[in-house]
Structure 1
Amino acid sequence: MPAELVETIKTTIQPNDHPYMKGAWRPTFNEWNATFADGEAEVIGEIPKDIDGVYVRTGENQVHEPIGRYHPFDGDGFVHSISFKDGKASYRSRFVRTKGFEAEREAGRSLWAGLMEPPHKSTRPGWGAQEWLKDSSSTDVVVHAGKILSTFYQCGEGYRLDPFTMEQFGTEGWVPVDGISAHTKLDEATGELLFFNYSKHAPYMHYGVVGPDNKLKHYVPIPLPGPRLPHDMCFTENYSILNDMPLFWNEELLERNVHAVEFHPEMKTRFAIIPRYGRPEDIRWFEAEPTYTLHWLNAYEEGDEIVLDGYFQEEPQPKSYPDAPEGLERMMAYLSQGLMKPKLHRWRFNMKTGETVEQRLDDRILEFGMINQRYAGRKYRYAYSAIPEPYWFLFKGIVKHDLETGESWSYELGEGRYASESPFVPRIGAKDEDDGYIISYVSDVNADQSECILLDAKDIEAGPVCRIILPERICSGTHSTWANGSDIGMPENSVLAA
């Protein structure tokens, strides 16, 4: 069945040479429905018949001419979903109809300034920890209680979408007044969703649990010494892990409502370990070497210890990007994995002695790691990290790690081809932790097209077993998720009707 153009969103963007509004980050404005089956021209290889579920990726896609300098994290949330069943696939793409998106569509222009501009340039009050930004709901997605939850990293309201039809249900009702940060965590074993938020007023952070019925079950303060900028959290079977890292707003400038990030190497990194339904008095604090970590990989309990894996930045406050256009030097430096140098790292917290032991797991620059989510919060063996394009917020390949043997394997896409965050997809009836596929959206700037690829997780070096060509090249993005059809009540006709 040919692709169906559902709607083209009107844009006011003028031609420009901004580095994050061209190439792989060129915005698109068309919303699509499309279905695919073996033997069709859009399918190269064979769509696996042993997977059942949906791959969802979000990202920032600016619609209107920005107010002042543009940062790619200002862009409107645009969700791409492709579902699989019985060797068929169905693709849908939609902008998230946030309150900000609808207000700007009605006005026909941008109403909110972004990260790089002062508050007075926004024409209306905003959302999140900085208070004047637009909640674009563009950072992360997870599928919980049968629906996509779309979130914003500066703490937004959270938006719900149907993972198959992309029908939109507006803001999430249980979200607290301080919002929810981007990285909520789903425990597939219990169906619980864990979340946190942060703000500029005491106690500066909260943590909560939402049940499999999508109702708020638990919400407690995590007191911090002042405003902080946590981006992610992690969990084990019995505990949740939050953090207080020494990269946060300059306190003197913050008093003048200037949000300038500063690294404090003289301070320790601190971790708050709290029982899943614990109270503030139950928190155990652990200290570690100063760093900043954008993303955690997984955590688990082992004897008296809690083991946490993530990406330790060797240079959390990189120097200015030397080849950036004037005025964008700091922005491009903070988007450069090559300058921040994140490395796969392990922390061990001894719950009896209070000691922290750290270990480097891989000395390559890697980030945006994924695992088999059935092992989230449990001891695991395999991980899949993105290989950054040097000095850009782009991914040129994937590394598979065997954390037991220390072996690794990699697949690179080739010049001008860039991956998305790439989840693990378990085969139906999988017997092993790595029995499945790695899935990703790939943007090819040479051919000016995008595709969805699947790699055999047991042999990623062999390259894609399947390439599904999308209706047009999509803008690069941020985070993604895979949800099993059996876990979320996948409808029988989910891949048959566009």
Structure 2
Amino acid sequence: MKIKHQNEVPHTLKPSRHPYLSGAWTPNFTEYTATDMEVVGEIPKDIDGVYIRNTENPAQEPIGAYHPFDGDGMLHAMSFRDGVAEYRNRFVRTRGFEAEQEAGESIWAGIANSVHKSKRPGWGAQGFLKDASSTDVVVHAGRVLSTFWQCGEGYRLDPYTLEQHGTEGWTPLDGISAHPKVDERTGELLFFNYSKYPPYQHYGVVDRNNKLVHYTPVPTPGPRLPHDMAFSENYSILVDLPLFWDPELLEENKHRSCFYPELPTRFGIIPRYGSSEDVRWFEASPTYVLHWMNAYEEGDEIILDGYYQEDPMPGPLPGMPDKPGRMMANIDMHSFKSRLHRWRFNLRTGETTEQRLDDRNLEFGTFNQRYAGRKSRYLYSVSGEPGWFLFSGLVKHDLETGESWTLPFGEQRFGSEAPFVPRINAKSEDDGYLVTFITDMKENCSECVLIDAQNIEAGPVCRIFLPERISSGTHATWADGPTIRSYNSGE
């Protein structure tokens, strides 16, 4: 292995027994650029692009209780071209991160704490949090866009070098939520945000040249906590979910989420460039959904897949005290019981119908983004380690036949969200690879693995070993190399 860059970032975090500051979630503080890494198998020559994963990776000792969603953003990237791979990891230099680096301590309390514990006003829907930019990551208009789950400024980086390019200039007052969507067909970025102030939710479109070209309210009856959106070829889909802050406590500036099963799940379907007057609301059974998958139009209907939670507010994990036990359960897919599910919205009749697609506890799915907004056949979910926010394997779904195939990562091996990587000159929807980072606790190492999407049960076609064991992480993306270079070098 050749280390081209190595830099330890100052930090005050102490060794901890906290379940999300230790073990597979132990934070990293060294930034690397590495080439000529050890490889088991052969790096495919028929892919060209970069895999990027975001990570909640705190640098400072927390104020009060720590929640894994509080950590600073750290991007891990593996680029591929002509059978050669290069690895980088960098903290996202948010304004909050830089302020805490200067102070040498935490300034903002996390979501499990009171507003009064933060030493300065914060960002986002909750109002006192640090915009850690640690949740999601996409590549749009040739640049990385990293985002925070409770809305923040959005940060731009170079996808290959991870050079920082500051905040996103078009960010609206209420910020950008995690999970903006890139339509590869048009090059547009579709996004939403939410807040505690009327109209509570907005939706916008940024064109392929990174210019904000559309922004409109999509009002909800009060403050809501959406986490994701979806789109079809002509429509965008936003939600009003019956899990949100208790309105009475919110008047006291206290943020306690409650599930209201007497309320329906509501879907706001808006033409891509529509206004609030164009939104059509559809009702469905009450649930909470973290992540939506593909949506597409078929006749009079829009079809949407996602992960329906059977128990959106689970009780504490067995044997644990109430507060930490609830925190552990709220991020464990076996506790909230997320199942692959399908919704159909009839634009002619206004009717919603629903269908369960898989009875297993699954989440964090991916699919071939070249099919986003159009009918697709294959979807790839992760399975979870019971009781933990850790990914233990993959499931490939054939949505046409109902068949599925599984790949366990192995004992004490935990992966990340696994984007689909099309082969160069791919001949079919699943002609490509799945890519993920694996943290191996038994071998005390981490690796990047590529899996043949047409035969996931065969296991990795190659394993590329990283400079050190990295913290477990969540959302990730794959970006096509020629598209990136067309923006950045005039190819």
Counterpart residue type for residue 12 of structure 1: T
Q: 1:471 to 1:492 in 2, by over 3 A?
A: farther
Question: Which residue does 1:3 correspond to in 2?
Answer: 3
SS at match of 1:308: strand
362, 369, 387: which one aligns with 1:366: 362
CA distance in 2, matches of 1:20, 1:427: 36
CA distance in 1, matches of 2:232, 2:156: 26
Cα contact 1:194–1:208 (8 A) shared by 2: yes
Q: Deviations over 1:308-364 (max 9, x none)?
A: 000000000101122446741221111111110000000000000000000000000
Q: Deviations over 1:236-261 (max 9, x none)?
A: 00000000010000001111111000
Q: Deviations over 1:190-228 (max 9, x none)?
A: 000000000000000000000000000000000110000
CA distance in 2, matches of 1:32, 1:16: 24
Question: Which residue does 2:408 correspond to in 1?
Answer: 412
| Aligned: 1:250 with 2:246 | yes
| Aligned: 1:125 with 2:121 | yes
Q: 1:49 to 1:490 in 2, by over 3 A?
A: farther
Question: Which residue does 1:31 correspond to in 2?
Answer: 31
What CA RMSD, in Å, does the superposition of the two structures yield over aligned residues? Answer: 1.3
CA distance in 2, matches of 1:345, 1:204: 27
Cα contact 1:370–1:423 (8 A) shared by 2: yes
| Aligned: 1:456 with 2:471 | no
| Aligned: 1:478 with 2:474 | yes
Deviation (angstroms), 1:3: 2.0
Question: Which residue does 1:401 correspond to in 2?
Answer: 397
> Can you give the 5+ residue segments of structure 2 that lack an aligned partner in the other structure?
none
Query: Is 8-17 or 180-189 further displaced after alignment?
Result: 8-17
Deviation (angstroms), 1:391: 1.6
Question: Which residue does 2:348 correspond to in 1?
Answer: 352
Deviation (angstroms), 1:9: 1.0
113, 117, 121: which one aligns with 2:109: 113
Deviation (angstroms), 1:14: 1.9
Counterpart residue type for residue 11 of structure 2: T
| Aligned: 1:18 with 2:18 | yes
CA distance in 1, matches of 2:59, 2:425: 42
CA distance in 1, matches of 2:433, 2:107: 42
Q: Deviations over 1:374-414 (max 9, x none)?
A: 00010000000001111211100000000000000010011
Counterpart residue type for residue 202 of structure 1: P
Counterpart residue type for residue 427 of structure 2: K
Deviation (angstroms), 1:4: 3.5
Cα contact 1:5–1:30 (8 A) shared by 2: no
CA distance in 2, matches of 1:318, 1:326: 11
Q: 1:323 to 1:77 in 2, by over 3 A?
A: farther
| Aligned: 1:164 with 2:160 | yes
308, 323, 326: which one aligns with 1:312: 308
TM-score by length of 2: 0.98
Kindly report which structure 2 residues correspond to 1:112-191, keeping only aligned pairs within 5 A, or say none.
112-191=108-187
CA distance in 1, matches of 2:473, 2:319: 23
Counterpart residue type for residue 32 of structure 1: Y
SS at match of 1:3: strand
CA distance in 2, matches of 1:450, 1:90: 15
Q: Deviations over 1:434-459 (max 9, x none)?
A: 00000000000111110000000000
Question: Which residue does 1:496 correspond to in 2?
Answer: none
> Can you give the 5+ residue segments of structure 1 that lack an aligned partner in the other structure?
494-498
SS at match of 1:306: strand
Cα contact 2:67–2:111 (8 A) shared by 1: yes
Deviation (angstroms), 1:420: 0.3
CA distance in 1, matches of 2:486, 2:445: 29
Counterpart residue type for residue 328 of structure 1: P
Cα contact 1:204–1:227 (8 A) shared by 2: yes
Deviation (angstroms), 1:10: 1.5
SS at match of 1:415: coil
Counterpart residue type for residue 62 of structure 2: P
SS at match of 2:102: helix
Counterpart residue type for residue 43 of structure 1: V
CA distance in 2, matches of 1:168, 1:15: 29
Q: 1:170 to 1:492 in 2, by over 3 A?
A: closer
- Identity over the aligned pairs, expressed in percent? 66
Cα contact 2:448–2:466 (8 A) shared by 1: yes
Cα contact 2:55–2:135 (8 A) shared by 1: yes
Q: 1:325 to 1:62 in 2, by over 3 A?
A: farther
226, 229, 254: which one aligns with 1:230: 226
